[in-house]
Structure 1
Amino acid sequence: MTARRAVLGAAVAAALLLSACGSDDQDVRDTIAENYELVSQSGDYAAYRSDDDVLSVAGTIESAAEAGRDHSEGDDRYLGYEETMVHIAPSPGGGSDIEVTDVRDGYDRWGPVIVPVWGLFGGGYRSGFSGGGSGFGK
């Protein structure tokens, strides 16, 4: 009887874990929409504006969901999730400009910066990662 309970308990735990996994992308988009000023939107792409610096914005976004991939290039920051990518850059007038889009569009937009670090697009950060580096995000 205890073996059945252990199997049942493991199955319930796995189901709860799987149900929580799919929400990171929406949590990120919701956090950005709730905290920053929408500048423009077209399909899955949206641009936002913040008075906060890049590091603060990235911290707020990652408080909603830790990025599977995280890359800094100069003062810019790139965060990769299963189906969503975020680019945060210093705004010329101070603060930050934030772009959020789906992974395929992110690779199209920022490929020259992220492909050498994250590898080629493969459908999401878990299945597509093959790049070199420190091992973070693999």
Structure 2
Amino acid sequence: MRGTGARALVAAVTALVTLTACSSTEEQVRNFVDENYERVSESGEYAAYRSSESVDDVADDIESAATPGRQHEDETGEYLGYEEVMVHVEEEPSGSGSTIEVTDASDGYDRWGVAIIPVWGTFGGSYRNAFSGGGSGFGK
């Protein structure tokens, strides 16, 4: 019994590692946020979540799950940019926790462009080039 249980555990861990390695960064980010925070709304590619944790703690946890290609912090919160998805983490209006917004990259630029374009550049321009090593790398 002991050997069978150990083999089953090894098989389960191997399957999890294989699935994680095969999934895209977008899926990793979306799955991590969906599994760890309370979803409060969803519409198409956009979803909003809530956490009792601070903005810094939430952003650190998401970064640990999938390293962003771009990151920016200002008075409105933290922005994490990936090739196909963007995340914005801001303090709840009540000051007790965080709101996490996840959407595709083009919608993220529409929503938060005022905050991120001066740092990351425009969508489809220097932003995407920086992921493949092009551009000056400003804002990385």
TM bin, normalised by shorter chain, reads 0.7 to 0.9
Paired residue type of 1:97: T
Percent identity for Structure 1 against Structure 2: 56
Going from structure 1 to structure 2, the CA distance change for 1:123 and 1:136 (only over 3 Å counts) comes to closer
Partner of 1:126: 128
For residue 74 of structure 1, report the CA deviation from its aligned partner: 1.4
Give the Cα separation in 2 of the matches to 1:21 and 1:85: 20
SS in 2 for 1:127: helix
Q: Is the 8 A contact 1:103 1:123 kept in 2?
A: no
Alignment of 1:1-138 (within 5 A): 20=21, 23-93=24-94, 94-122=96-124, 125-127=127-129, 135-137=138-140
1:40 aligned counterpart, secondary structure: strand
Q: Which 4+ residue blocks in structure 1 deviate beyond 4 angstroms?
A: 128-132
CA contact (8 A) 2:77 2:90 kept: yes
Long gaps (5+) in structure 1: 1-19
Query: How many angstroms apart in 1 are the aligned matches of 2:92 and 2:53?
Result: 10
Q: Measure, in 2, the Cα distance between the counterparts of 1:125 and 1:49.
A: 28
- Contact 1:76-1:89 at 8 Å conserved across structures: yes
* Aligned residue identity for 2:93: P
**Aligned-partner residue type, residue 109 of structure 2:** Y
2:34 alignment partner AA = A
Number of matched residues?
118
CA RMSD of aligned residues (A): 2.6
- Structure 2 gap ranges (5+): 1-20
Partner amino acid, structure 2, of 1:27: Q
